């Protein structure tokens, strides 16, 4: 499953962001790829990991360790198991 989202309003760091990909927040890290503006990001378990993103609060949501700006392009991919 793949979804591409163009950010339409700024999203603060460590705020839930809906990727539009159900299950991406709970899937094994080896099945998940997330890109912002074409840059592959590193997944952490939580904010304390100090990596690029980590699971969000609800299904399909992730939290980024940095602000997302208007017109950023977020690509979320969940590969089959």
Whole-number Å distance between alpha carbons of 12 and 80: 30
Q: What is the mean pLDDT of each run of 10 residues along the chain (81 residues)?
A: 98 98 95 98 95 97 98 97 84
pLDDT, position 81: 84
Q: Which two tokens stand for residue 14?
A: 């460590």
- Burial of 3 (C-beta count, 10 Å sphere; 0-12/13-18/19+): middle
Confidence at residue 69, expressed as pLDDT on a 0 to 100 scale: 98
Q: For residues 81 and 71, what is the distance between their CA atoms, to the nearest angstrom?
A: 31
pTM for the whole structure: 0.95
Report how far apart the first and last C-alpha atoms of the chain are (Å, whole number): 11
């Amino acid at each position: 499953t793949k979804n591409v989202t163009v950010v339409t309003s700024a999203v603060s760091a460590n705020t839930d962001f809906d990727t539009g990909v159900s299950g991406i927040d709970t899937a094994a890290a080896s099945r998940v790829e997330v890109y912002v503006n074409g840059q592959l990001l590193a997944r952490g378990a939580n904010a304390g990991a100090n990596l690029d993103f980590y699971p969000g609060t609800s299904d399909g949501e992730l939290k980024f360790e940095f602000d997302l700006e208007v017109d950023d392009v977020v690509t979320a991919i969940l590969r089959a198991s």
